[in-house]
Amino acid sequence: MSGIHATAVVDPKAEIGTDVEIGPFSVIGADVVLRDRVIVGPHVVITGPTIIGEETKIYAGAALGGDPQDLKYRGEPTRLELGARNIIREHVTLSRGTQGGGGLTRIGDDNLFMAGSHVAHDCQVGNHCIFANYAAIAGHVHVQDRAILSGFVGVHQYTRVGRCAMVSGGGMVVQDVPPFCIAQGDRARLYGLNIVGLRRAGMKLAGIQALKAAYRELYHQGLPMRIALEQVREVYSDVPEVVELVEFIAGSQRGTCRSAGTDAASE
């Protein structure tokens, strides 16, 4: 049984699951799939092809699955896919992909998008992420699991934000933010590890201590990054979290944010 308000407009080609609620004056377009127990508030517009996962809740004025804001887009079919249990607050905008970016914007499970936040075309967002008010990521950005973007953060296109990383309020990110780190400022620099986030994610003390030591060697010993990465990789090859940090930095195409402290290693 679905509860669709009399003023809502639902295209016959939309697929509506069980126990779905659609509020007043909302518009659900063709090729939209609302999985079971999705709640759509008033004045929401969802354009297809878009899939909204189970138990997702969408608040007033959100616009999901709209055409990508890309001048190269020519109307080709592309998609937006959301996993389960996401919370989409007021006036959030999530765009579909573009053909040049693979045709898909993909968002995982259990994310919170606060009012006014934006995910552009061809982005990949993991699970348990938080986008605070008016945080915005440009096209082709990858945000890994449990990352936090604070209020008014902006992320440049083709940039990555690593797992359990946090970008503080107003940060402007133009290079990759390594996993487990805190970045802030314009242009964002690193200010150590996101210790609170790591504890909340259930990371064990041994892993946190190893990350602290690896961070010091990478960013505060004055070594060229190539050499620092080799040394850290050798010493901590049995610590998965440190290996993840090293591989993220080594695989960066845009370069990573520099440290706010001694940062000869980031040159």
* 3-state DSSP of 112-181: EECCCCEECCCCEECCCCEECCCCEECCCCEECCCCEECCCCEECCCCEECCCCEECCCCEECCEECCCE
- Are 125 and 107 in contact by the 8 Å Cβ rule? The answer is yes
The two tokens of residue 100 are: 């040049």
Q: Which residue of the set 122, 126, 140, 197 is catalytic?
A: 122
Catalytic site includes residue 122: yes
Catalytic site includes residue 261: no
Q: Which residue of the set 65, 97, 126, 139 is catalytic?
A: 139
Query: Residue 93 — φ and ψ, nearest 5°?
Result: -125, 130
Q: What is the CA radius of gyration of the chain?
A: 20
Residue 113: Cβ within 10 Å count: 30
Query: Residue 2 — φ and ψ, nearest 5°?
Result: -115, 145
Q: Which residue of the set 121, 128, 140, 142 is catalytic?
A: 121
Q: CA nearest 44: which of 29, 59, 65? A: 59
Q: CA nearest 105: which of 54, 67, 160, 56? A: 67
Catalytic positions are 121-122, 139
